[in-house]
Amino acid sequence: MIKVNVNDKLAHLKNTPFLLNDKDIQWVEETLVSMNLHEKVGQLFCPIGSSDKKEDLETFIENYHPGGIMYRPNTGANIQETHRLLQELSPVPLLISANLEAGGNGIATDGTYFGKQMQVAATENEEMAYKLGMVAGREGRAAGCNWAFAPIVDIDMNYRNPITNVRTFGSDPKRVADMAKAFMKGIHESGLAASVKHFPGDGVDDRDQHLLPSVNTLSTEEWDQSFGMVYQEMINSGTKSIMAGHIMLPEYSRSLLPGIEDEHIKPATLAPELLNGLLRGKLGFNGLIVTDASPMLGFTVSERREFAVPKAIASGCDMFLFNRNIKEDYEYMMKGIETGILSLERVDEAVTRILALKASLGLHVQKEQGTLVSGEEELAVLQCEEHKVWARECADQSVTLVKDTQKLLPISADKYKRVRLYVLGDQEGGLKESGSVTQPFVDSLKNAGFQVELYNDNQVNFQELFMSVNEFKDKYDLVIYVANLETASNQTTVRINWQQPLNANAPWFVRDIPTLFISVANPYHLQDVPMVKTYINAYSSNEFVVEAVVDKILGKSEFKGKSPVDPFCGKWDTRL
């Protein structure tokens, strides 16, 4: 029997993006050989973490042998301790992931909310994208993460898309590629692996893949010149992993599989022609492919789950993200192997890439040294002064004056003493990154000498509802709207819905009282308030943005941001 040299068999692991040496490759091979089938199948899963109790985690690791895990954000101290316990319990080091899209707050609630990607893009300064990556990476690493589900390289081509929006670097493919590469450089220098998402590209459809399989309708030529260019740039720059979305790319599926019937076109997570033919073949990606979250409707409605679970790996994904029920999904994966949907050879190939990603991060060495998770003292980096200074610089460079056709700015308390403030979509709690911006705006305006009356969104004032124009003008000199209507998973639109009855909080007075509109979450509100003559986009709802906006409307600082998208939504009246 001829013995195959390990280095020959796994030679591709020496190439980009893993760049493993012989010793690393030996660890990958020996670890793979030491695993039984159940342990290999466990490596394919990156479930969502729920418990932080040692007994629960011991049972979970023993039963499923996961290759990775992801927890929702918690305080830095709590999440670090959970990650440390997990790594101590797992014989093979875990990939510990987080959505580090906007800063360290993606895993630590007391981490720095640096800013959304579109805010960074509005600076037109790639150094800011690099700093975002550094903040996210440093703080994520301190909390015990080693895998960032970022950057997002979707292109916000459709302003109606309810999920891409400010999470993207905008609508220009070149800016997206340049910013994403700078972000990834910061992530990689922090010791984490980046996972670029969401292949083959979101932002064309006006629907959310959390709710259905969305469609990228571009022709093959259009895709090559936009999303294809971006992915090629990221691959050439060494991205270690790519997240496949529940997004169909029909024109490429038809091109790669001539004669395919429409009902057989699948989202990328279940489309071997896109994963193997396009991503690995044409674009030459050698790294790890992970599915997007598998409980999303874009995945669950595309195929019976019993078949979809093993098909995702058989189609070319190496890792399976989250579960509806981990026990059932694990059984489905095993059954898929038994029935021939998923081959043992393909399992070995996927697990090899998972182990190679771990080796490329040095997790096997860190496991031996006991340094997989930093000490508690490293949590001092969360919201450290340097990171706050960078975030403040980003806010200053990004706030964008979209229009001021009434020549309102700058404002002063001498001219506009009495201010009515409306804040939209700012309820405390929920999934907001930084909570409410109401009080910071109220306090900042009062400190500048304004008398501020805050509109109560929770109760309709019927006396005011029928107030005369002159009465309203006698009470207020200026009206300011602040909209904090964030994008969120599983919502179909990001639009302004005025208070009922009779649109009680809508700007009916805009022709009679100077009105200013500030959006801190969505750059496309002019479609709903074209009548407002002074409009500002700020992209993120953190403290640094509030500070920068107030300085700029008071004339203490100039507006420097450049819109990364068309804030006028292609409508002529929004420019007036």
| 278-284-287 Cα angle (round to 5) | 105
Q: Which helix (H) or strand (E) holds 248?
A: strand 247-248
Q: Which helix (H) or strand (E) holds 299?
A: helix 297-300
C-alpha distance from residue 241 to each of 10, 193, 244, 364 (Å): 18, 7, 10, 18
- Spatial contact of 250 and 215, defined as CB atoms under 8 Å apart: yes
Whether a cis peptide bond, with omega within 30° of 0, leads into 162 is no
CB atoms within 10 A of CB 453: 13
Token couple for 312: 């995702």
Q: Which residues pair with 453 in a beta bridge?
A: 420
Q: Which helix (H) or strand (E) holds 76?
A: helix 76-89
- Show Cβ contacts of residue 544 under 8 Å, excluding neighbours closer than 6 positions: 115, 388, 391, 392, 394, 395
Active site annotation includes 528: no
CB atoms within 10 A of CB 447: 9
| 303-304-306 Cα angle (round to 5) | 125
Token couple for 533: 């003559």
Given 292, 318, 396, 528, which residue is catalytic? 292
Half-sphere exposure at residue 130, Cβ-oriented, CA atoms within 13 angstroms: 7
Spatial separation of the C-alpha atoms in residues 205 and 216, rounded to whole Å: 6
Residue found by looking up tokens 């609508």 in the block: 171
- Spatial contact of 314 and 346, defined as CB atoms under 8 Å apart: yes
Q: 197 φ, ψ to 5°? A: -145, 155
Instruction: Cite the active site residues.
Output: 292
